[in-house]
Amino acid sequence: MRQIMWIVTIAFALTGLALRADHGLWPGAYYADLLSKGCFILAVLACPFLWARAYGILPRALQVPAGQRFMLALALFLAIPLILPWG
């Protein structure tokens, strides 16, 4: 799990750098600064070095079993249209 979180951290950090570098090269460039800041914040939040415990990412009291974790991920995926601005 830590390796996945490191990969996600690096991906968000590089995405933020790419958005900051390509600020004026695409039609929606006025959102690039906001998106790059959001990617940097997500990179900090995903970084296991800053907040992960030695025995795992989550405390033992908050760990969710695999079946419930799958259903929770499915519910979050299906809720994406509710939080995205469609226009």
User: Residues 3-13: pLDDT tens digits?
Assistant: 788 888 899 99
53 forms beta bridges with 56
Confidence grade of residue 86 (pLDDT, cut at 50, 70, 90): low
Query: How many domains does the chain divide into?
Result: 1
Per-residue confidence (pLDDT) for residue 11, from 0 to 100: 92
Per-residue pLDDT of 3-59, as tens digits, reads 788 888 899 999 888 888 877 666 767 778 888 888 888 888 888 777 666 666 666
53/74 Cα distance (integer angstroms): 26
Q: Which range marks the domain in which residue 57 is found?
A: 2-83
